[in-house]
Structure 1
Amino acid sequence: MSKATAASKALAAAFVVLTGSVIAGIITMVIFYKTEISPMNPTPRPTTPPTTTSLPPVFRLPRDLIPQSYEIFLQPDFYTKIIEVVNVTSPNQTMLFTGNSTVSFHCVQGTRAIYLHSDGLAISEPVVVNKNNSKKVAVSSTKNHEYPSNFLEIQLDEALEQGVTYSLFLAFEGHIRQSPYAMFASKYAEGAPAYEGDQDGERFLVATILEPTYARKVFPCFDEPDLKAVFHVTIVHRSETQALGNAEVKESNGIDDDWKVTYFHPTPKMSTYLFAFVVSEFTSTEPSAPSDRVGIETYARPNATRAGHAQYATDVAAKILQFYESHFEINYQQQKLTQIALPDLRAEAMENWGLVTYKEGRLLYEEGASSPLHKEDIASIIAHELAHQWFGNLVTMKWWNDIWLNEGFATYFSIFAVDQVEPSFQLKEWHIMSNLHRAFEDDALASSHPLSPPLEDVQWPAEIEGMFDSITYFKGAAVLRMLADIVSEGTFTKGIKMYLSDFKYGSADQDDLWGHIQKAVDQDGGRTDVAKVMNTWTKQIGYPVITINTTNGEIYQKHFLFNDTYESNLWWELPIRVMSNAPKSSPIWLRSNNKVQKDEFISKKGEWILANVNCTGYFRVNYNSENWERLLTQLETDPDKIPLMNRGQLVDDAFNLARAELVDVTLALNSTRFLRDERDFLPWKLAAKNLEYFVLMFDRSEVNGPMQAYLRQQVKGLYDFFRNYTDSSTVPENHSLQHTQILAIEVACSNGLPECVEMATGMFANWMASNGTNHIPPILRSVIYCQALAAGGREEWDFAWDKFQSSTDTAERDQLGQALACTKKIWLLNRYLEYTLDPEKIRRMDVGPTISSIARNVAGQALAWNFIRAHWTYVQWDSVMLVDAVTRRFSTPFELTELERFGEDYHLGAATMAVVQAVEQTRVNIQWVSENKDGVLQWFESETAS
């Protein structure tokens, strides 16, 4: 986290003064900073009016005071072990912290009021000091403004002077939270009980996650991303624990038998949301260094590090860091990089500078027990978080409306980092396409938002939270890939290097980015007007569908929306790259929504034209029916003539154009015929993803039987291709083939292919009969567990539940937890839902994912919908995830009415936009099902009959 001041043991002794007691008998401390708290008498009240008066700000802090540094002292008062049990339900645990902070700031405009953020803290002892002359400035009053501003207002008896540096000392107390945000406690099991009263080796740690607006819950601060400062940090913690922070430990000394104090070196200049610390009994791997400058360690539960489960994360992080340093030509800016696997974390991970936190299951790898494919997840998430050390940490967006400059870049570059350091994974194309389609889905709704919305649309904390969505992450990555294709990869990289170099330790907005890419374009002799082109993609919602008529060469664009009743005249600047089974020139620019004619888009007899080669553009493509037929015929006869990414994209475009009613639904279904002979992962995965919409719309209707019959016959060839592996409990060495094998089992078993169901239930039965010896290959366990429980009953479910409860392997617990939601027995699903209310059965951080898994099951969707409404207060921490999961099948007027009533009757908070989008999608589903159900049923019946 942050660093302490240069303190000797004598200074440490001076710290030991009362700041406020957490509980009677606990040592409390306060830091006296000689320059901030002087022995002088308070400055007398002014006899003349101040130079300026400050009105309360609306939602942003005024820029009259700019922070330079913080000196922060924190003492989390908690026990890592429960030693004394007061009664059965109330163990002797303390969930409080005390502290003080001294923030130094420069006055750029005279003012009699200091505004900063504080939320839920008991503030006392404000002291303001003029650092130029060490005189105190008298405080006349303090006031806390409630949510959503959370301002702490400090009124002064005299005005602060322009050009002078001041300091503000505040003592404070706060609560350690039980949910993973701000400063929180996390409970975990560490082996057998170590002492009498220790229940199952239960341990506690304290950690932080402060993004986006939670730093104000830990210490008073200027909690906005562009108000960067240097942090000097001191942590007082239990003697048996270790404190980790953003920077290296400078010194750690014992105070007495119970407490010790750890001082940290100063941090780089950084935003408050990147401040972090962890106090725990965790241990680390041996440091792995990409160079002599940076030591990399990964911390986890001691039994996990002893077993080597954190070693892969350490090793791959070193390779990824080295890749980024070479690619950006800017070194990582600290001497250490610490990763830590936490039992509880709200996000998948958090990029705190120098102390990156991860959910335990996303970081640990157990050889022989974890799926080999889990290494892909570990490498990908580490690559994402380490990209943030440049995009977000070194250069930060000025305000949260441009958070895509953090998340879009991290998503984009993580793909190339993983491909570079783990080339055997061979999944760059799939990750690109997966990101593209996750953005396409939400951006096809009229309730989407621009990648970079106006400042006034992103003000309060709930609005800021809402920006962390698929648009920010995945559309951000997609438009960056498109920009790199437009200006060339080399020019793009040159511009990025200049952008990082010029704004390091500072903040930027997207105009700054465009300016630096433009500088590189101009230097390389390019002619693209970067801002003009890219603002059409970032300042308005959505994306276009390009329609090409190959009989007359006409081409035009239109805003692509699932809701065809929504009127839109938006248009985008875009290049269209084309190929054919005859040579074609490319690319051509489309700069309006008017129809234009291009001779190169006229096809001769038997010729097809394919646009958006390798899917570099963020748009969909539609064709006249003749060109569609030629492309689909090519897929069935010789698919290799079409690039792999486009084979998948043709299916995806066809299905989504059918959802928007721009092509007939039978065209989309015809695009799946080639799958009977397809063996590559990407086309199959995209086809399965798109057919999922049909499953969601029709698995409660008479369409389901013929649809499953069709999918059984299409997937049989793929399933048989892997049958020698599957039946002998082995997997191919190739990662892409491993993914395809899993997909083949999933599609075959879920649609009732007899040999698949028999295989899955047989493997699971053998495990149940083997006294705990599990011969199912780790890579197949997730899909085998799910399909076996779907086909089984109570005996299988209870066995899986017992294994879930007793397993200490995080990956195994995750697989079993998801599989338990696959049962078709409604009473078992209902029992599983009830278990989510008991933290002893389902960890608080797993409640949302568990209910979501149940909602994805057709047998559990209605149960989950009723459950979240009945327990909204308890589950609303995961509200956005849950609203999306439970409403995906909604396609009837009754479900729409229930959803609208839910939006009116419940306090939605961060889920407000999710409900708005769910209402829009439900209306689209109702119309689409009513217009297409009969045709879909007829098509599936015809195909299976033939």
Structure 2
Amino acid sequence: NHTRPDTACGPEAVGGCYRDVFDESVVMSTYLVAFAILPLDYGSLTREVPTKYGSVKTLEKQNVAEVITHEIAHQWFGNIVTMTWWDDLWLNEAFATFTQFIGVDVYNPTWNMMDRCYVEFVMNALQTDSMLHSHPIIMAGVSDPSEIESLFDDISYFKGSSLIRMLEGVIGRRVLKEGLMIYLNRFAWRNAASKDLFEAFSEAYRKINQNSGAHSNSPAENLTRVMDTWTTQVNYPLVTVRISGNRLHFRQERFLLYPNGTQIWESHQTNHVPDRQNPEPMWTWLDLEESKTVELDHTPAFVKINLNQTGLYRCNYEFSNWQQLVKLSRQGYFGSTDMAGLLNDAFTLAYIGRLNISVPFDLFETLEEDRLDSGTPWTISMRKISELQPLMAQDQQSAEKLVKLIFKILFDQGQIRQTDAITIAVKFARRSGALDLVWTHFTRNWDQLLKIYGHMPFLMSDITKFPADYYTEFDYERTREFFETHSLTSGKRNAYQSLESIRANIAWIKHNMESFKTFIKNKVIE
């Protein structure tokens, strides 16, 4: 929080942003200079295919910017104020993770960093904390060095930053900033605990809102009580909402990928209920209640809770409401983050048997790139579909039909840019273990691929490099025959490199298999 640089762009913009956020905190006694030392990538010097999902060069820049802004944030969260003990590690790491996205978003708004929050840490938090053997954010009684080291994990970083994001959604950035100023100045060069932070936020909330209007008697006035259920309990809730006339019936339960046990949270829902007279979403608090009924002044056609996915919980609805959400998605009703949340919840609920598998795929088919401001929904979809690999392995025929469906959406329906479609297809093949199915589909639709990518040398090269991981004589012969009888345009060199790689893989197995077996037999204890 030294003097702000005059320039408003480049790396200095991050410092300017942090100066704005932390302007009223104590002045630091040192300057921080950050350097990033990277390996020289000759390919990235000349090649950068611009896509919504980012080239290698762009992603590298984003990663460097995130690391730098994360470490700069530790000047406040860790240096000026340090947690009292390791059980509050999240006070350091979660805030540094959350503010790194704010800083990088100022540095380059075109990267859509605030939208990426959902993929980068909210989705990871939801996945990691859905296990019975997770742990609370605040680990009371931790003392062993190995236990302390284990706290540097997804819960401290990602669940913690997700809670801050949720808190900002409830109290607003103005109150969040004011609360941070109270916290940083009150505990400057000292130690603090989670309750100190929450008390500072509550104080800021009362100061700014003055207990008036909609803010009167709000649970946000006592955030220590509210946040205790989120920081001292393991896991998070699944909130199910059902429409009955003009009433909304809410029910919360502990979410686990493999259910076991119950807990209750004090939580809020931002309910997106269609109302022509009042288009603003309404708020509902579950005050340590397992269920709650809210009466409206109209009968809603549908309900969507957790607007902008600010809450750290999963959502479920009646099947008829899911169908309405699919219909609205087809009309472009939802933004990227809400679409990502709907897809993530739908695929996950189908995974545990709480929703028909048709729903997430119906949502997936509605994706159209031109209506979305980022690639987040596509990223979520590919990750979740890749998790179907165990099902695909059990039913080859269904797996082939799934690949056809994905490729129809990517290549036939004009819903996504051509440069992005091939990138998504390749990532799907690698993650899902469906390399052979995808390559087979490529070969059967080669004329279509040539028509689309024949004039794009980099992408055509990516396609012809695809079979390089094969390792049998059968795969070599069929790939060689295919390449020799089809036009390869600018991918010809990579095609022959793929054949060489297959030959090398075959030779590696031939020369090393017996010695490898002997080595393993001698090393592994039965």
Offset at residue 871 of structure 1 (A): 8.2
1:664 to 356, 367, 387: 356
* Aligned-partner Cα distance in 2 for 1:365–1:321: 31
The residue number in structure 1 matching 2:146 is 462
Change (3 A) 1:685 1:825: farther
The residue number in structure 1 matching 2:466 is 787
Offset at residue 740 of structure 1 (A): 6.8
Change (3 A) 1:675 1:755: farther
Change (3 A) 1:745 1:333: farther
Structure exhibiting the larger radius of gyration computed from Cα positions: 1
Query: Is the partner of 2:35 in helix, strand or coil?
Result: strand
Amino acid at match of 2:240: T
Q: Confirm or deny: 8 A CA contact 2:470 2:505 kept in the other structure.
A: no
Amino acid at match of 2:468: L
Q: How does 1:157-556 map to 2 (within 5 A)?
A: 291=5, 316-329=10-23, 330=25, 331-339=27-35, 341=37, 360=38, 367-368=45-46, 371-454=57-140, 456=141, 458-524=142-208, 525-526=210-211, 527=218, 528=220, 529-551=222-244, 552-556=247-251
Offset at residue 756 of structure 1 (A): 10
Q: Where in structure 2 are there 5+ consecutive unaligned residues?
A: 48-55, 212-217, 477-496
The Cα offsets for residues 706-729 of structure 1, whole Å up to 9 and x where unpaired, read as 322222222224778533xx4xxx
The residue number in structure 2 matching 1:622 is 316
Choose between structure 1 and 2: higher strand proportion. 1
1:579 matched to 2:276? The reply is no
Q: Confirm or deny: 8 A CA contact 1:533 1:574 kept in the other structure.
A: yes
Task: With the length of structure 2 as denominator, give the TM-score of the two structures.
Answer: 0.75
Amino acid at match of 1:337: V
The residue number in structure 2 matching 1:559 is 254
- How many residues end up aligned between the 2 structures? 455
Offset at residue 338 of structure 1 (A): 4.4
Offset at residue 480 of structure 1 (A): 0.3
Q: Where in structure 1 are there 5+ consecutive unaligned residues?
A: 1-288, 293-314, 342-359, 727-738, 767-773, 798-818, 835-862, 873-901, 906-946
Offset at residue 443 of structure 1 (A): 0.7
Name the structure, 1 or 2, with higher relative contact order (CA <8 Å, separation 6+).
2
The residue number in structure 2 matching 1:754 is 442
* Aligned-partner Cα distance in 1 for 2:224–2:96: 21
1:709 matched to 2:404? The reply is yes
Task: With the length of structure 1 as denominator, give the TM-score of the two structures.
Answer: 0.43
The Cα offsets for residues 106-140 of structure 1, whole Å up to 9 and x where unpaired, read as xxxxxxxxxxxxxxxxxxxxxxxxxxxxxxxxxxx
The residue number in structure 1 matching 2:479 is none
Amino acid at match of 1:588: T
The residue number in structure 2 matching 1:84 is none
* Aligned-partner Cα distance in 2 for 1:412–1:363: 29
Query: Is the partner of 2:68 in helix, strand or coil?
Result: helix
Offset at residue 700 of structure 1 (A): 6.0
* Aligned-partner Cα distance in 2 for 1:415–1:707: 35
Change (3 A) 1:830 1:392: farther
Amino acid at match of 2:424: L
Change (3 A) 1:647 1:543: same
RMSD in angstroms over aligned alpha carbons? 4.1
Q: Confirm or deny: 8 A CA contact 2:235 2:255 kept in the other structure.
A: yes
1:590 matched to 2:286? The reply is yes
Offset at residue 825 of structure 1 (A): 9.1
Q: Confirm or deny: 8 A CA contact 1:362 1:381 kept in the other structure.
A: no
Change (3 A) 1:498 1:366: farther
Deviates more, 1:327-336 or 1:477-486: 327-336
Change (3 A) 1:542 1:792: same
Change (3 A) 1:718 1:679: farther
Change (3 A) 1:444 1:720: closer
Query: Is the partner of 2:387 in helix, strand or coil?
Result: helix
Change (3 A) 1:689 1:469: same
* Aligned-partner Cα distance in 2 for 1:645–1:676: 14
Query: Is the partner of 2:385 in helix, strand or coil?
Result: helix
The Cα offsets for residues 599-618 of structure 1, whole Å up to 9 and x where unpaired, read as 239744xx111111111111
Offset at residue 498 of structure 1 (A): 1.8
The residue number in structure 1 matching 2:333 is 641
Query: Is the partner of 1:550 in helix, strand or coil?
Result: strand
* Aligned-partner Cα distance in 1 for 2:523–2:111: 42
The Cα offsets for residues 615-640 of structure 1, whole Å up to 9 and x where unpaired, read as 1111111111221111112223x0x2
Q: Confirm or deny: 8 A CA contact 1:553 1:602 kept in the other structure.
A: no
The Cα offsets for residues 251-281 of structure 1, whole Å up to 9 and x where unpaired, read as xxxxxxxxxxxxxxxxxxxxxxxxxxxxxxx
The residue number in structure 2 matching 1:687 is 381
Amino acid at match of 1:557: Q
Offset at residue 537 of structure 1 (A): 0.6
Q: Confirm or deny: 8 A CA contact 1:553 1:598 kept in the other structure.
A: yes
Query: Is the partner of 2:388 in helix, strand or coil?
Result: helix
Deviates more, 1:550-559 or 1:659-668: 659-668
Choose between structure 1 and 2: higher helix proportion. 2
* Aligned-partner Cα distance in 2 for 1:600–1:464: 48
1:743 matched to 2:427? The reply is no
* Aligned-partner Cα distance in 2 for 1:653–1:340: 37
* Aligned-partner Cα distance in 1 for 2:347–2:73: 34
* Aligned-partner Cα distance in 2 for 1:474–1:674: 29
Amino acid at match of 1:618: L
The residue number in structure 2 matching 1:878 is none
1:632 matched to 2:310? The reply is no
